[in-house]
Structure 1
Amino acid sequence: MHIQTKFHGELNIQPNQTWNFPKGVPGFEDENEFALLPIEGNHTFQVLQSTTIPDIAFIVANPYTIVDDYSFNIDEPTIDLLEIDNEQDVFVLGVLSLKEPFETSTINLQAPLIFQSNTNKAKQMILNDNTFSMRHSIGTQVTATEGQA
């Protein structure tokens, strides 16, 4: 499948490389199919790219590499929607808001992206507590070039 992307130009991806968001992403409820794309030379961040609208792309990262004590429980509706049977089949990413200078960028810990690797389904789950912020500073814990080979 050929897709146009915001940061990578035109790409050919396989259908098994896409993630289905059955309910879309908050603010983009009609967008149900996304691809996770690497950022060349960087193993910390990825791009969550809509497969239909090039301008819908989010920079995402594993929140556990940014916040040591990050934890939450996945709610039952999300478990049911994503068909989660085993926690080993799940991974979590957070959406970043990039700023200048880069160290002032933030990650949304209040609405993690939950991915179920066996079904290729995903959902952005809104947490119902204020333990973590929507705009948690990434500070100097992660740099733009971390993970370069």
Structure 2
Amino acid sequence: MTATTMQSIRKFATEQFGEILIEERHIFTFPDGLLGFEDLRQFIIVRDERTEPVRWLLSVEHPELSFPVISPFFLVADYSPGKEYCEFQRYTPLAILTLGAGGATANLKAPVILDVREQRGMQIIIPSDKYSTAYPIGVQQQTTT
């Protein structure tokens, strides 16, 4: 490995995932942070085969803090975060999961959007009422007849 390559790799010690080595180019910068976590600006995506298709949005500043995320397309096939984010080769939407006493839910109303070209991220709020902040996961939706 060259010195340049060595400088571009960061090491994180996490309780949940153990030691993680990540290239700087895989870090996403969130200029405004996440809702409720505005002071956290750098995140990585951690894949854990034990939890697939759930992945983890891990804070670089506080590696003990990670959010379970999932592609909203696993939950709603025609999910749309908005016209400006429809270029799916550039933008990757992720829904943050919440695990509670009533089961798991996904926040489809305020997805995280990753710009894979610019290595930037943001959390947006979709203005319509089409999506919920607590979309139930693992429960079949019943239809009324």
The bucket for the TM-score relative to the shorter chain is 0.7 to 0.9
Are 1:25 and 2:34 counterparts? Answer: yes
Partner of 2:90: 89
* CA distance in 1 between partners of 2:109 and 2:15 (Å): 25
Between structure 1 and structure 2, the one with the greater Rg is: 2
Gaps of 5+ in 1: 142-149
**Structure that is richer in strand per residue:** 2
* CA distance in 1 between partners of 2:70 and 2:115 (Å): 16
Are 1:35 and 2:17 counterparts? Answer: no
Partner of 1:11: 20
Structure 1 residue identity aligned to 2:93: V
Q: Which moved more, 1:17-26 or 1:36-45?
A: 36-45
Partner of 2:53: 44
Higher relative contact order (CA 8 A, sep 6+): 1
Structure 1 residue identity aligned to 2:54: F
Q: Check whether the contact 1:6–1:57 (CA below 8 A) recurs between aligned residues.
A: no
State the TM-score, normalized to the length of structure 1: 0.78
Partner of 1:110: 109
Q: Calculate percent identity across the aligned residue pairs.
A: 30
Partner of 2:7: none
Q: How many corresponding residue pairs?
A: 131
Q: Check whether the contact 1:5–1:55 (CA below 8 A) recurs between aligned residues.
A: yes
Q: Check whether the contact 2:114–2:120 (CA below 8 A) recurs between aligned residues.
A: yes
Closer, same or farther in 2 for the Cα pair 1:26/1:64, shift >3 Å?
A: same
Gaps of 5+ in 2: 1-9, 141-145
Q: Check whether the contact 2:32–2:38 (CA below 8 A) recurs between aligned residues.
A: yes
* CA distance in 2 between partners of 1:128 and 1:6 (Å): 37
- What whole-Å deviation, never above 9, does each CA across 1:90-112 have from its counterpart, x for those lacking one? 111100012467xx200000101
**What is the CA-CA distance between 1:4 and the residue it aligns to?**
2.9
> What is the DSSP-based 3-state SS (H/G/I as helix, E as strand, rest coil) of the residue aligned with 1:16?
helix
Structure 2 residue identity aligned to 1:41: R
RMSD: 2.1
Q: Work out which of the residue numbers 53, 60, 71 in structure 2 matches 1:62.
A: 71
